[in-house]
Amino acid sequence: MASTINTTTGDALERASTPVKQHTDLKSGNEAAAMAARDIGYHIMGYYPITPSTEVAENLAQMSANAEHEICMVPGDGEHGAAGICYGASLGGGRVLNATSSQGLLFALEQLPVQSGTRSPMVLNVATRCISGPLDIRCDHSDIYFVLNTGWIILLARDPQAVYDLNFAAVKIGEHPDVRLPVIVAYDGFFTSHQKRRIEVFDDLDAVKAFVGEPNAPYTALDPENPVTFGPYMNDPDLINNKVQLSEAMEAARRVIPEVIAELAQLTGRSYPIMDEYRMDDADVAVVLMNSAAETAKEIADHYRQQGHKVGVLSPNMLRPFPAEHFRKALKNVKAITIGDRGDSYGADGGNLSLEVRAAIQQDTDNKTLVVTRIYGLSGKDFDDADAETFFDLALEAANKNKVNKPFAYHGAHAGVPDEHPPIGLPVIETEEVSRGMAKVTLNEKTNRLDVELEPFWAMPAVTNRIAPGHGACPGCGIFPILHQIYHVLEGDIVVLFQTGCAMVVTTGFPKTAHRITYIHNLFQNGAATLSGLVEMYHELLRRKELKNAKDITFLMMTGDGGMDIGMGPALGAAHRNHRMMIIEYDNQGYMNTGAQMSYSTPLGHRTSTSELGTATQGKRFHHKDTAQLFASCHLPYVFTAAEGYPEDLMRKVAKSQWYAKREGLTYGKILSFCPLNWRTKDDASMGVLQAAVDSCFFPLYEVEHGHTNITYDPDAIGRRVNAAEWLKQMGKTKHLTKPANADDLHRLEIEVERRWRRLKAMHEHPEL
């Protein structure tokens, strides 16, 4: 809890004599952020899941299901969409919340200056996390450093209590008439977002409401009697003048933030000085750190003090506006400091904290503080006692010698050994081993469609597996049977791109990989564009005869259903450009790798961690996305659906896809994929569940070949049609839909399923559709 009193700057407040009634609870940072949001009573939350911030939305979703708050939670199609939702909502004048991390923050980045540039306040919780690539989910500050130039206020919360408290302050700071800027509350991913600590929580919600007050937007987009143009095209000199105003708003924030924090302290009894100064009064040397690592350094400072070293710790509670004056005052008489940056500004000899502290003290011509910069703790690498000791020792050495030996370096890391390679895995696959003619595809001159002849299943294992044994998926996971079925019939050399998702996460973990063929990962918002670039490079190099060892390559992108939300734009772009590549989506009806949040493919009423079951609502509130029809409307040569439990049908379609992708252009397939963990079934329940999904016509099996729809399995025609309830009763995530209380939702789902099925049948029967 940041209750240190700042004796240098006078920002800190004594504990208020009569704080409002609170109770003690044990909560993580994410839980604290969600509880604060509930107590603030935001109007809208636009969000998109990403570890480690996802729990904020998940906690609020659970509370929403039980009517514990009235926040309207809008799931974005990605963080860019979520940021747009938040921006639009804030223009309406109500209160708006978001939470994100890492790539999510970067994907939203483009929207952040738009929001601050039009002076639209909102609150964004950032559980800080390492940015890609390569992909890593753990904590550092590389994401938040990217936001420094966006015009957002950034408050730093070092523990769950600070997360809770500063969320209230953030609303009031951002909405202050002299400020009107969006505010980020940044806390360390996992260290703070997930570790539970004792926190004090308000009992008196009236006092909270009185503190935050009513939203007071001077203009809104919802007042037709006073129409306003938000974001006009603006040229020189207006734009630069507009930025003067933004700069002045930041300056106003310097004044407003301590005022609001002081007011909050009256309520809570807890104070957050702009600069958290620990034993700095007479310090000769100091360590400067942001957020949770500073707490470790404080303990070591105590040990060093006992040994007679005059050391202290400095850590800001605010990053924007940057507390330059506070640093100048605190470092006036300090001989040397080590600044730890949990993120690098590559090539600048320091991360942003170092660069800005150095710039700040350079303004004080009397300041003689020597500065050591160390990049530490990237991707969640622990900062423990020994690291803190090293940082103090570096500063003490500099102070003693009055010289810095190595001003900039990485701490506890090295660049690797150039000639050392990970051990070679299985031998390279020869083209002949994977060209075994398991599916013979011929063009039928009469129908102008493809015919496929499959070898018997028992012959299939003759194809060398492109996926090595050994992966980290859950028992019973559908992804691997699907991959095996695909790889059995695909002929020859394949380059595969996996978008982020379970299939990617469970098959690669440096230095190991389960992929025996060339594999690329790009984040799931952009895989299709990436693969399309590679496809074009391949054809261009072939055309120029510049490709050494030129081979006949098929390009395949594997994606989850979530990847077809956030990555839909680039995928449709690739489809419209009609690159010669295959896209295959394994649809497990949710964002499984991040803990089963809803995707747009999740059907109505299904339980996920962001469409929870409670007394007020039961599962997802809107219908599943018809991704196959979206791609069909791009007039591709070939689109199909398939299910893991119908291997023959699946393999025929994959073989056709490859044929078209090599000759005519982009093909797309959506395959229903079993996920026992999050569908809440037994590991071996796949056959029954998938059969019922198909037989209830929820997931029809069909293909669209050159625009002609062909249903490849018709449960009506063979007397196998079952009710949706037959399917839903088999899964823990949907059992509730078969109860009388949820009859309306079941009925809505059945009607929608039937409508889509009839439409499909009409297309199947009509020669032109």
Comparison of 27 and 80: residue with beta carbon closer to ligand TPP: 80
Given its phi and psi angles, is residue 269 left (phi above 0), alpha (psi -120 to 50 degrees) or beta?
left
The nearest distance, CB 145 to ligand TPP, in angstroms, is 17
Checking DSSP bridges between strand 96-100 and strand 44-47, what pairing results, if any? Answer: parallel
The nearest distance, CB 498 to ligand SF4, in angstroms, is 13
Chosen residue from 371, 523, 651, 677 binding ligand TPP by CB under 6 A: 523
Looking at beta carbons, which residue is closest to ligand TPP? 560
Told to check if 585 binds Mg ion by CB under 5 A, we report: no
Structure tokens at 610: 């962001």
CB contact set of 506 (below 8 Å; sequence gap of 6+): 471, 472, 473, 477, 479, 514
Comparison of 552 and 683: residue with beta carbon closer to ligand SF4: 683
Pick the stretch among 18-26, 486-494, 507-515, 521-529 that binds ligand TPP (CB under 6 A). Answer: 521-529
Pick the stretch among 176-184, 334-342, 559-567, 699-707 that binds ligand TPP (CB under 6 A). Answer: 559-567
Per-residue binder mask for Mg ion (CB under 5 A), 587-606, x = binder: -x---x--------------
SS3 314: strand
The partner residues of 451 in beta bridges, in order of sequence, read 442
CB contact set of 207 (below 8 Å; sequence gap of 6+): 20, 267
The nearest distance, CB 752 to ligand SF4, in angstroms, is 25
The nearest distance, CB 189 to Mg ion, in angstroms, is 22
Residue 104 binding target from ligand TPP, Mg ion, ligand SF4, none, CB below 5 to 8 Å by type: ligand TPP
Query: What own/partner pairs with CB < 8 Å and gap ≥ 24 does 687-693 have?
Result: 687/645, 688/730, 689/727, 689/730, 689/731, 690/643, 690/644, 690/645, 690/646, 691/645, 692/722, 692/726, 692/727, 692/730, 693/643, 693/727
C-alpha distance across the termini of the chain, in Å: 65
Residue 506 binding target from ligand TPP, Mg ion, ligand SF4, none, CB below 5 to 8 Å by type: ligand SF4
CB-CB contact of 153 with 321 (8 Å): yes
From the list 448, 313, 291, 319, the residue with the least C-alpha distance to 376 is 291
Residue 740 per-residue DSSP state: G
Tracing tokens 């996305």 back to the chain, one arrives at 625
Told to check if 668 binds ligand TPP by CB under 6 A, we report: no
Distance CA 713, CA 653 (A): 13
| Residue list 444-503, contact with ligand TPP (CB under 6 A) | 500-503
Residue 109 per-residue DSSP state: G
Told to check if 567 binds Mg ion by CB under 5 A, we report: no
Checking DSSP bridges between strand 638-643 and strand 701-705, what pairing results, if any? Answer: antiparallel
Comparison of 117 and 645: residue with beta carbon closer to ligand SF4: 645
Chosen residue from 4, 593, 618, 691 binding ligand TPP by CB under 6 A: 593
Comparison of 259 and 683: residue with beta carbon closer to ligand SF4: 683
For 304, 384, 396, 650, 651, the CA distances from 387, given in Å and listed in that order, are 14, 5, 14, 54, 55
Chosen residue from 46, 76, 104, 478 binding ligand TPP by CB under 6 A: 104
Residue 231 φ/ψ, nearest 5 degrees: 75, 55
- Max Cα separation, the chain? 93
Burial 208-220 (b: 16+ CB within 10 A, else e): beebbeebebebb
Chosen residue from 79, 188, 626, 644 binding ligand TPP by CB under 6 A: 79
Residue 388 binding target from Mg ion, ligand SF4, ligand TPP, none, CB below 5 to 8 Å by type: none
Told to check if 249 binds ligand TPP by CB under 6 A, we report: no
Chosen residue from 592, 650, 654, 753 binding ligand TPP by CB under 6 A: 592
Chosen residue from 165, 344, 387, 561 binding Mg ion by CB under 5 A: 561
From the list 191, 192, 174, the residue with the least C-alpha distance to 183 is 174
Measured in residues, the chain has a length of 769
Residue 262 binding target from ligand TPP, Mg ion, ligand SF4, none, CB below 5 to 8 Å by type: none
The nearest distance, CB 590 to Mg ion, in angstroms, is 5
Q: Which amino acid, one-letter code, is at 523?
A: L
SS3 496: strand
CB-CB contact of 20 with 187 (8 Å): no
Told to check if 563 binds ligand TPP by CB under 6 A, we report: yes
Distance CA 459, CA 467 (A): 18
Told to check if 562 binds ligand TPP by CB under 6 A, we report: yes
The nearest distance, CB 587 to ligand SF4, in angstroms, is 10
From the list 543, 541, 519, the residue with the least C-alpha distance to 531 is 519
Give the Cα-Cα-Cα angle 10, 15, 17 (nearest 5 degrees).
130
- How distant is the alpha carbon of residue 47 from its chain centre? 10
Distance CA 691, CA 643 (A): 9
Comparison of 300 and 677: residue with beta carbon closer to ligand SF4: 677
Residues that bind ligand SF4 (CB under 6 A): 473-474, 477, 479, 502, 506, 588, 592-593, 675-678
Residue 525 binding target from ligand SF4, ligand TPP, Mg ion, none, CB below 5 to 8 Å by type: ligand TPP
Residue 678 binding target from ligand SF4, Mg ion, ligand TPP, none, CB below 5 to 8 Å by type: ligand SF4
Count CB neighbours of 263 within 10 A: 16
Comparison of 361 and 477: residue with beta carbon closer to ligand SF4: 477
Chosen residue from 145, 152, 304, 524 binding ligand TPP by CB under 6 A: 524
Distance CA 294, CA 314 (A): 8
Told to check if 560 binds Mg ion by CB under 5 A, we report: yes
Told to check if 644 binds Mg ion by CB under 5 A, we report: no
Pick the stretch among 122-130, 151-159, 196-204, 586-594 that binds ligand TPP (CB under 6 A). Answer: 586-594
Size of the site for ligand TPP (CB under 6 A): 26
Residue 523 binding target from ligand SF4, Mg ion, ligand TPP, none, CB below 5 to 8 Å by type: ligand TPP
Looking at beta carbons, which residue is closest to ligand SF4? 477
| Residue list 105-124, contact with ligand TPP (CB under 6 A) | 107
The nearest distance, CB 592 to ligand SF4, in angstroms, is 4
Tracing tokens 């089963």 back to the chain, one arrives at 596
Residue 474 binding target from ligand SF4, ligand TPP, Mg ion, none, CB below 5 to 8 Å by type: ligand SF4
Comparison of 560 and 669: residue with beta carbon closer to ligand TPP: 560
Residue 272 binding target from Mg ion, ligand TPP, ligand SF4, none, CB below 5 to 8 Å by type: none
CB-CB contact of 607 with 742 (8 Å): no
Residue 594 binding target from ligand SF4, ligand TPP, Mg ion, none, CB below 5 to 8 Å by type: ligand TPP
Structure tokens at 722: 């079952």
CB-CB contact of 283 with 392 (8 Å): no
Told to check if 695 binds Mg ion by CB under 5 A, we report: no
Comparison of 296 and 678: residue with beta carbon closer to ligand SF4: 678
CB-CB contact of 525 with 50 (8 Å): no
User: Where along the sequence are the contacts to ligand TPP (CB under 6 A)?
Assistant: 48-50, 79, 103-104, 107, 500-503, 523-525, 559-563, 588, 590-594, 599
Please report, as ranges, the residues that interact with Mg ion according to CB under 5 A. 560-562, 588, 592
